[in-house]
Amino acid sequence: MKFNVLPFAFWLLGVALVVTGPLAHAQKEKEKRDFKVVSEVKDRHGNTIRKVQYYEGNVKITQEIIMPPFPGIKERPKVDPDTLNRDSVLVLVEKSNYLVAIVYKRKRIRQYRAVFGPTPLVDKMMAGDRNTPEGWFKIVSKKEHSNWQKFILIDYPNEESYAKFNKRKQDGLIPSGASIGNSVGIHGTFTSGVKMVDWGMGWTDGCVAMKPEDINDFYRFVWPGTRVFVRR
């Protein structure tokens, strides 16, 4: 008797697709260890040029980071999020400045240090490139997370994302069989990894990562539907 493997193969594919959401993403970004600063100097513009090393599994990774001074807002005035008009809240992500800001009625009321993937100034092109997507998004959901304190999911890929993705395929910038990716969000970091944020280490798979105390504060100011603008 012949056994038809196609139904079983499709079942396996279905299982694989089921675990490509935020849970799978959460399991993939593994904790880094033994991170250290190899060298650090400031240039004439006040930028910190820092070479860092860490281990991911058994692989030693070295990064050189150019990190600008942290601009503005160091104090956090008391603000009751429940008194805010939610439609007037905007999350601004500035990758070149390594920061996330809460903007309310065109005024920054919060600002946090943040890190991204290994090449933060590159727009996301396709699944697996570990880049943070640029453009306009909205928050889809927010929830507690066992490793990263909080996870705020954005609606990547959206219509704008697909338009850029398809154009890049047409232009031959990415393989014809590439997929667009998903499960991009804003989250905290491992409790042992606060220095990764301070040092600007790009360790995520395309998400935006902040310190535990910062993501807990940020979480209070955002809701499903909150607009997010990510720029270089």
* Domain assignment of residue 122, yes or no: yes
Instruction: Please indicate, yes or no, if residue 137 is contained in any of the structural domains.
Output: yes
| pLDDT value at residue 95 | 96
Instruction: Confirm whether 69 is domain-assigned.
Output: no
Q: Tens of pLDDT along 89-100?
A: 999 999 999 999
> Does residue 44 lie within any of the structural domains?
no
* Residue 181, domain extent: 87-231
Average confidence (pLDDT) over 104-109: 91
Residue 43 domain-assigned (yes or no): no
Mean pLDDT of 195-218: 91
Q: Over the chain, what is the mean pLDDT?
A: 83
Q: List the single range of 21-25, 50-54, 58-62, 163-167 with lowest mean pLDDT.
A: 21-25
Give the model's pLDDT for residue 192.
Answer: 74
Q: How much of the chain exceeds pLDDT 70, in percent?
A: 81
Our answer to whether residue 207 is catalytic in this structure is: yes
Q: What is the pLDDT of residue 78?
A: 84
Asked if the structure places residue 195 within a domain, the reply is yes
Residues 142-196 pLDDT 10s:
999 888 899 999 999 999 999 999 999 999 999 999 999 999 999 999 877 788 8
Q: Pick the catalytic residue: 25, 45, 145, 187?
A: 187
Residue 161 lies in a domain: yes
- pLDDT tens profile 25-52: 444 555 666 777 777 777 777 777 777 7
Give catalytic status of residue 187 as yes or no.
Answer: yes
111 pLDDT above the threshold of 50: yes
> Does residue 53 sit within a domain?
no
Q: What SS3 string covers the chain? A: CCCCCHHHHHHHHHHHHHCCCHHHHHHHCCCCEEEEEEEEEECCCCCEEEEEEEEECCEEEEEEEEECCCCCCCCCCCCCHHHCCHHHEEEEEECCCCEEEEEECCEEEEEEECECCCCCCCCCCCCCCCCCCCEEEEEEEEEEECCCEEEEEECCCCHHHHHHHHHHHHCCCCCCCCCCCCCCEEECCCHHHHHHHHCCCCCCCCCEECCHHHHHHHHCCCCCCCEEEEEC
Q: Is the pLDDT of residue 17 over 60?
A: no
Domain containing residue 161: CATH number: 2.40.440.10
pLDDT of residue 29: 55
Quote the number of domains for the chain. 1
